[in-house]
Amino acid sequence: MMNFNDFVNEVKGNIKLFLPKDYENAEVSVMEYLKLNRAYTGLVVRKEGEMIAPTINLNQLYEAYNTQPGVTMETVCRKIADMVSVAPIQVDLKSILNYEDVKDKLFIRVSSAEANKEVLENAPYQLREDLAITYHVAVGKDQDGLSSMFIKNDLLEQYGITAEQLHEDAIKSSPHVMPPEVSSMGALIDEMYQKNILMLTPDEREMLQETLQESSEMPTFFVVTNTERVDGAGVIFYPEFMDNMGELLGNDFFILPSSIHEMLILPDDGQVDAEMLKEMVKEVNATQVAPEERLTDEVYHYDMKDHVFEKADRFTERQKEKAAQAVKTEKDGKEQPEQKPKAKKHDMEL
Confidence of residue 69 (pLDDT cuts 50, 70, 90): confident
Angle between helices 73-85 and 4-14 (to 10 degrees): 60
Distance from C-alpha of 188 to C-alpha of 229, rounded to nearest angstrom: 12
Q: Which of 4-13, 41-50, 201-210 has the highest mean pLDDT?
A: 4-13
Q: Name the average pLDDT for the chain.
A: 80
The DSSP bridge partners found for residue 257 are 263
Nearest to 252 by CA among 210, 294, 300: 300
Torsions phi, psi of 323, nearest 5? -65, -45
Distances, alpha carbon 127 to alpha carbons 23, 102, 114, 309, in Å: 44, 23, 11, 12
pLDDT reported for residue 238: 94
Count CA atoms within 13 Å of residue 51 on its CB side: 6
Q: What is the pTM of this model?
A: 0.72
Given a contact cutoff of 8 angstroms between Cβ atoms, the answer to whether 130 and 140 are in contact is no
Distance from C-alpha of 98 to C-alpha of 89, rounded to nearest angstrom: 19
Confidence of residue 342 (pLDDT cuts 50, 70, 90): very low
pLDDT reported for residue 346: 38
Instruction: Look up residue 229 and give its DSSP letter.
Output: -
pLDDT reported for residue 121: 92
Count CA atoms within 13 Å of residue 174 on its CB side: 30
pLDDT tens digits along 41-60? 888 888 776 666 777 888 88
The DSSP bridge partners found for residue 35 are 38
pLDDT reported for residue 170: 96
Coil vs helix vs strand at 241:
helix
pLDDT reported for residue 30: 87
pLDDT reported for residue 39: 79
Given a contact cutoff of 8 angstroms between Cβ atoms, the answer to whether 297 and 282 are in contact is yes
